Amino acid sequence: MKTYEVTVERDGRWWMVAVPELDGLTQARRLDEVEQMAREYIAVTTDVPLSRVAVEVSGIAADGQDLLEAKTLVDGLRRRAKDLEAMIAELTREVASSLTDASVPVRDVSNVLGISHQRVSQLVQAAAQSDGDSTKVIRQSRQEFAHDLVIQLADGRAVRLVEVSGPKKNRQSKEPVQQGSGPSVRKAPHPRPAKRPASRSASQKQSV
């Protein structure tokens, strides 16, 4: 069986199907008809049985846009979304289990994870039946979102699809602590010296 490369381009109400190797052109009403129409054209042109013809669509264009590239991108993002959903489910389960093991109330776990307390109980039960490691799951999740997902378009524009950043840690300046045998004591600010009253002039002294 021989495989022929074909390209497809929208022209009015038709999809024009080109077979570069045969310098041929056929058409189809819908994209799902392209492969069959191309195979039939090739079989008739080369005088071989239809069963011995295969085609590979290398490009689909419409209004100057590469639809095959867009389809590949969308399919990839959908697979990515499924992977992320699985990771979210695993992370949520392990965090819920670790928090309840630390005696955190179910209502508070529900508030942290944004799920119902009934769902928390279900996740805890599921985690008890698995060999999950919450520390490992959290570490993998952080590594997964180490970078934002950015798509570079053909015209040079960049589209940011995902932006994940960790919580900002509060940085508090530490005041110097006095060393001693007892508990640590913060140094009090040095008091400002009191201003001395201005000396009286000679004329004031004589009038007294």
Query: In terms of C-beta distances under 8 Å and separation of at least 24 residues, what long-range contacts does 77-84 make, across chains too?
Result: 77/161, 84/144
> 18 pLDDT exceeds 70?
yes
What are the pLDDT digits (tens) for 5-14? 999 999 999 9
pLDDT (0 to 100) of residue 182 = 46
**pLDDT of residue 170 exceeding 60:** no
In this prediction, residues 157-168 reach a mean pLDDT of 49
Enumerate residues 6+ apart whose C-beta is below 8 A from 46: 22, 53
Contacts of 152 (CB under 8 A, 6+ apart): 158
If one compares 60 and 101, the residue with the highest pLDDT of the two is 60
Q: How many other C-beta atoms are found inside a 10 Å radius of the C-beta of residue 88? A: 11
Q: How much is the pTM?
A: 0.47
**pLDDT in the model for residue 48:** 94
> Beta-strand (E) ranges in the chain?
2-11, 14-19, 24-28, 53-62, 65-66, 149-152, 158-162, 177-178, 185-186
For 12-72, list the strands marked E by DSSP: 14-19, 24-28, 53-62, 65-66
CA-to-CA distance for 77 and 71, rounded, in angstroms? 10
Q: Report the share of the chain in percent with pLDDT over 70.
A: 62
What tokens were used for 183? 């508990």
Counting DSSP H helices and E strands in the chain, the numbers are 6, 9
The Cα 67–Cα 8 span in angstroms is 10
How many Cβ atoms sit within 10 Å of the Cβ of residue 22? 13
Question: In this predicted structure, what is the pLDDT of residue 174?
Answer: 44
Tell me how many degrees the CA angle 134-136-141 measures, rounded to the nearest 5: 95
Buried b (16+ CB within 10 A) or exposed e, 91-100: bbbbbbbbbb
pLDDT tens for 87-142 read: 888 888 888 888 888 888 988 988 988 889 888 888 888 777 665 555 565 566 65
